[in-house]
């Protein structure tokens, strides 16, 4: 199903519909402040496995992010955050960044990797904020694969490609063409893993 949601003033009933799809183990494609993402409920193991099949990756080795509406879930899923790192997160979020942080024991087992880290995202996107608030916890997310820009920016092309693989494609308008910038913050010597849409000064 292709669901058109207003990017600036998301319709509450549609947000509730998407959140219910996630709670029921559904997989969605949805807009962020960068490119469109592939997402599911972090507690729905079968949905996580299906996303990994779509991307042909191992859940324990995958670069999957926890998408939040603010930093209130930080202490639930990340541990040992220094004051310096917290200030960096506050300064850059919401925004087009993924921060790699030490994972807490509350991270679902299927996602506990040998590296013992998680990616944390707070996109600057109204649809995402309302959706995560309605769901009550983060969305598990990964970038949408594609060979051409349209494959991960145009919701109608995305729908044609993924309609048999996902439960919902949320159309929030044309997406950005660059993924998020990934910063490793496991210790205070921050390392840029991928330079994307966000600006970063070493």
How many angstroms separate the Cα of 99 from the Cα of each of 76, 85, 119?
15, 10, 5
Per-residue pLDDT of the chain (202 residues; tens, 9 = 90+): 999 999 999 999 999 999 999 999 999 999 999 999 999 999 999 999 999 999 888 877 777 899 999 999 898 999 878 999 999 999 999 999 999 999 988 888 878 766 689 999 999 999 999 999 999 999 999 998 888 888 889 999 999 999 999 999 999 999 999 999 999 999 878 999 999 998 887 6
- The DSSP annotation for 100-144 comes to EEEBPTTS-GGG--TT-EEEEE--S-HHHHHHHHHHSSPEEEEEP
Do β-strands 65-67 and 117-121 pair in parallel, antiparallel, or remain unpaired?
parallel
Q: Which residue has the tokens 């996303």?
A: 51
Q: What pTM did the predictor assign?
A: 0.94
**What tokens appear for 74 in the block?**
């930080």
Backbone angles phi, psi at 54, to 5 degrees: -60, -40
Q: Confirm if 142 and 13 have CB atoms less than 8 A apart.
A: no
Cα–Cα distances (Å) from 126 to 147, 185, 194, in that order, read 27, 26, 25
CA–CA distance, 53 with 97 (Å, rounded to integer): 25
For residue 176, how many other CB atoms are within 10 A of its CB? 19
For the segment(s) 2-194, the CATH number from 3.40.190.10, 3.90.870.10, 3.40.50.2300, 3.30.420.130 is 3.90.870.10
Could you tell me the two tokens for 188?
């205070």
């Amino acid at each position: 199903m292709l669901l058109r949601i207003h990017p600036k003033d998301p319709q509450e009933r549609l947000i509730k519909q998407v959140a219910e799809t996630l709670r029921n183990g559904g997989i969605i494609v949805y807009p962020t402040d960068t490119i469109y993402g592939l997402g599911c409920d972090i507690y729905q193991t079968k949905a996580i496995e299906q996303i990994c099949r779509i991307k042909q990756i191992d859940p324990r080795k995958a670069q999957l992010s926890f998408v939040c509406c603010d930093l209130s879930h930080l202490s639930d899923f990340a541990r040992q955050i220094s004051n310096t790192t917290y200030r960096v997160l506050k300064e850059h979020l919401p925004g087009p960044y993924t921060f790699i942080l030490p994972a807490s024991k509350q991270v679902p087992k299927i996602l506990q990797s040998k590296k013992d880290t998680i990616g944390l995202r707070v996109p600057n996107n109204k649809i995402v904020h309302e959706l995560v608030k309605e769901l009550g916890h983060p969305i598990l997310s990964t970038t949408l694969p594609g060979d051409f820009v349209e494959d991960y920016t145009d919701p109608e092309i995305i729908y044609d490609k993924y309609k048999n693989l996902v439960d919902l494609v949320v159309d929030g308008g044309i997406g950005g063409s660059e993924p998020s910038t990934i910063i490793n913050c496991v210790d205070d010597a921050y390392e840029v893993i991928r330079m994307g849409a966000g600006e970063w000064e070493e």
